[in-house]
Amino acid sequence: MAVPDTCFHCALPNPRGCDLTVEIEGQRQNVCCPGCKAVAELIRDSGMLSYYAMRDAPQPGVGKPAPEEAEWLVFNGREMLTAFADINNDIAVATIYAGGMYCSACSWLIETSLGKIKGVLSVDVNPVTHRLRVRWRFEEIGLGDILAALSRLGYRPQPLAAGDTTRPEIAEQRAALKRLLVASLGMMQVMMFAVGLYAGDFQGIDADMQRFLRLVSFFVATPVVFYAARPFFASAWRGVSARRPGMDLPVSIAIGSAYAASVYATFTNGPAVWFDSVAMFVFFLTLGRFLEMRARHRSIDRSVALSQLLPNTATLIVNGAKKTVPVAQLTKDDRVLIRAGDSIPADGVIVSGASAIDEALLTGEAEPRRRIVGDLLAAGSVNLDAMIEMRVTGTGGDTALSAINRLSERARFTRPAFVNIADRIASYIVVALLLIAAAVALYWYFVDPERAFVITLSVLVVTCPCALALATPAAFATAGSRLSELRLLVTNGNAIEVLSRATHIVFDKTGTLTSGTAEIRSLAVLRDDFDEQQCRVIAAALEQASTHPIARAFRTELALPVVTDGQVHVAQGVSGTIDGSRWRIGSASFVLDDSTLEE
């Protein structure tokens, strides 16, 4: 729950002088704005007060409703429905990203609230990915109405294009997870039965009970071998067909031989079965493959994140009229309106206005650049200060952002030299292991035939080069993912290998070495009637109106006063009125020059 001096709903500090409250279960709770008051009353009146009891402590600001909902109504158009939903007869299905979701109570609130809307057929929420899948009758309710309902609940909805949810690596991950689940359940169950068989070897066991435990183990281990271990057999066969045996060949021989021998012993009352060993081996191999796959997918996710920097929609200007359209419909020479805080939807040239642009994606520079009429803009950069108009010069694959994405894709598919070496070594090792296993089998066949099979099987299992073949690709993928997190673009996979041998790094004189995040290191108070805390509070209150990256450095958890007439002055600063006094923050010339303000 929120503490008394913070908003009950969103946990932001309540502005000084704000007396808004909402009655929750007989108690008056303070809220910070009319929006939070409306959302809290909506939750209360809908009979969903369990949300506040179920939720974890919210991050400040999470759940605060958007000030404007009319923007969502443009998504009710047929063009938007086609762009963001799959349509089948009169039913539409869309995937929506819900920003601000932070716990399972949010999932419950969304499913319950949207489920009560007429026309909505089903709502499935994934709290891990912050996505929800909605099915509805589009003749009864529009996509924009659903987004507006989410906005009223305090979330920041973003519809995802249909192609964003059909990435092949997602299907691969789901299939691998299913196999891992089957292997893990089978391994645990077979091990339980194996305990009884092992105990029977030492203490004796009834023949019928032994036969029963073996038979049950057979039924449990069979799906593990034929479903969970199927990728190993398929890969082994491909390697044999291509005359390039891989590490899956000895694995498949070991699994298949142990399973076949166990089945034979089960139905002929043989001396021993190895169903538990088979299931355990498959489980650990499948787990290793799954972890390696997740490392690769994290690397892919970083590349996909580049394409998601573009907004879903853009404001197109046609003969002076403004129209919201999907970004995919923009063409060269279109005129686009870009508001403060919006991402640039395509490459273009400013034709009207001036603003500060965050180009850190392309240049690595944390400090925004001022752009005026005639300057170029790159897709994916962010307009920070003022409204501008742009003429589109490049869309889709012709943008600088797409070029960066292609470079990243090229690096991801480049196989570094050390990976190729590991693959070649693994291939030779496999051939050597098969020869050694054949020699061991031949030797023990003549020395002790009863032990020949078990010893040969042990050689195949113990000497499997899984670590060599799995570790190098996983290490390469993890390194690329980590570099992407640090905003370092890898354009050549071999660079990672070379980087490990680097001893010195040289930066040219125009480079800027920075963490990319501004912070206040010190503060000098020039008047005796103010202290440092007062100055920080006033500055933080004024900077709330700005989307400039430097404004983030002024954020504080202290209670802030109410600012009226807040105004952002492009490339100069911010002004506003607090308790009847006019305040300014920004450059020295802006603060000291009265002519810059319209009093």
214 and 271 share one domain = yes
Q: Do 449 and 375 belong to one domain?
A: no
pLDDT at position 116 over 60 = yes
Confidence band, pLDDT 50/70/90 cuts, at residue 53: low
Number of structural domains the chain divides into = 4
DSSP 107-175: HHHHHHHHHTSTTEEEEEEETTTTEEEEEEETTTS-HHHHHHHHHHTT-EEEEE-GGGG--HHHHHHHH
- Give the mean model confidence (pLDDT) for residues 40-62: 62
Q: Which residues pair with 120 in a beta bridge?
A: 136
Q: Please give the mean pLDDT across all residues of the chain.
A: 77
Q: Is it the case that residue 554 has pLDDT exceeding 60?
A: yes
**Pair (350, 323) in one structural domain:** yes
Dump pLDDT digits (tens) for 235-271.
888 777 767 777 778 888 888 888 998 898 888 887 8
Per-residue pLDDT, 182: 93
Q: Is 70 exceeded by the pLDDT of residue 366?
A: no
> Under a CB-based contact definition with an 8 Å cutoff, are residues 282 and 463 in contact?
no
Is pLDDT above 50 for 518? yes
Is the domain of 299 the same as that of 426? Answer: yes
CA–CA distances in Å: residue 412 to residues 170, 364, 472, 477, 488: 17, 21, 14, 8, 14
* Residue 146: pLDDT over 70: yes
In the chain, the percentage of residues whose pLDDT exceeds 70 is 73
Where a domain ends, among 473, 491, 512? 473
- Whether 295 has a pLDDT exceeding 70, the answer reads no
In a domain, 564, yes or no: yes
* Least confident among 101-115, 338-352, 391-405, 415-429: 415-429
Contact 390, 358 (CB under 8 A): no
What dihedral do alpha carbons 381, 384, 388, 389 form, nearest 10°? 20
Above 80 in pLDDT, residue 135? Answer: yes
Q: Do 211 and 292 lie in a common domain?
A: yes
- The CATH number of residue 577's host domain is 3.40.1110.10
For residues 295 and 326, membership in a common domain is answered with no
pLDDT value for 65: 47
Radius of gyration for the alpha carbons in the chain, expressed in angstroms and rounded: 32
pLDDT digits (tens, 9 = 90+) for 370-396: 888 888 888 888 888 778 899 999 887
State the DSSP H helix or E strand holding residue 331, giving kind and residue range, or none if neither.
Answer: none
Q: Is residue 512 part of a domain?
A: no
Residues 458 and 363 in one domain: no
Q: Looking at residue 527, what is its pLDDT?
A: 83
Query: Which of 478 and 105 is assigned the larger pLDDT?
Result: 478
**Between 178 and 58, the higher pLDDT residue:** 178
Instruction: Provide the greatest CA pair distance for the chain.
Output: 104
pLDDT for res 598: 46
Q: What is the DSSP letter of 57?
A: P
Residue 60 lies in a domain: no
Instruction: For residue 203, give its domain range.
Output: 169-303+416-473
Confidence (pTM) = 0.53
For residue 370, the one-letter residue type is: R
Q: What is the pLDDT of residue 3?
A: 44
> Is residue 55, in this structure, part of any structural domain at all?
no
Look at residue 234 in the predicted model and tell me its pLDDT: 85
Cα 383 to Cα 255, 274, 290, 360, 369: the distances in Å are: 59, 65, 41, 12, 10
State the pLDDT at residue 157.
83
Report the run of H or E that residue 250 belongs to, with start and end: helix 248-268
Mean pLDDT of the 550-572 span: 80
77, 156: one domain = yes
pLDDT of residue 1: 42
For residues 196 and 224, what is the distance between their CA atoms, to the nearest angstrom? 20
| 8 domain residue, yes or no | no
Single residue among 166, 190, 217 that ends a domain in this structure: 166
What does the pLDDT look like over 409-429, one tens digit per residue?
Answer: 666 555 566 666 666 676 677
Q: How many CB atoms lie within 10 A of CB 171?
A: 10
Q: Is 580 left (phi over 0), alpha (psi -120 to 50) or beta?
A: left
Q: Same structural domain for residues 247 and 387? A: no
Indicate the residue among 347, 376, 406 that finishes a domain. Answer: 406
Mean pLDDT of 338-345: 84
Q: Is 574 helix (H, G, I), strand (E, B) or coil?
A: strand
Shared-domain flag, residues 299 and 436:
yes
Confidence (pLDDT) at 265: 86
Residue 133 burial by Cβ neighbours in a 10 Å radius (0-12, 13-18, 19+)? middle
CB 384 within 8 A of CB 368: yes
Contact (Cβ atoms closer than 8 angstroms) between residue 358 and residue 384: yes
- Do residue 250 and residue 235 come from a single domain? yes
In a domain, 47, yes or no: no
CATH number at residue 330: 2.70.150.10
Q: Are 112 and 122 in contact (CB under 8 A)?
A: no
Of the candidates 192, 173, 169, which has an alpha carbon nearest to the alpha carbon of residue 181?
Answer: 173
The answer to whether residue 526 sits within a structural domain is no
Q: Please give the Cα distance from 185 to 180 (Å, whole number).
A: 9
In the structure, what pLDDT confidence band is assigned to residue 599 with cuts at 50, 70 and 90?
Answer: very low
Q: Are residues 277 and 186 in the same domain?
A: yes
Cα distance between residue 345 and residue 336, in whole Å: 9
pLDDT at 215: 92
Q: What pLDDT is stored for residue 184 in this prediction?
A: 93
On whether residue 521 sits in a domain, the answer given is no
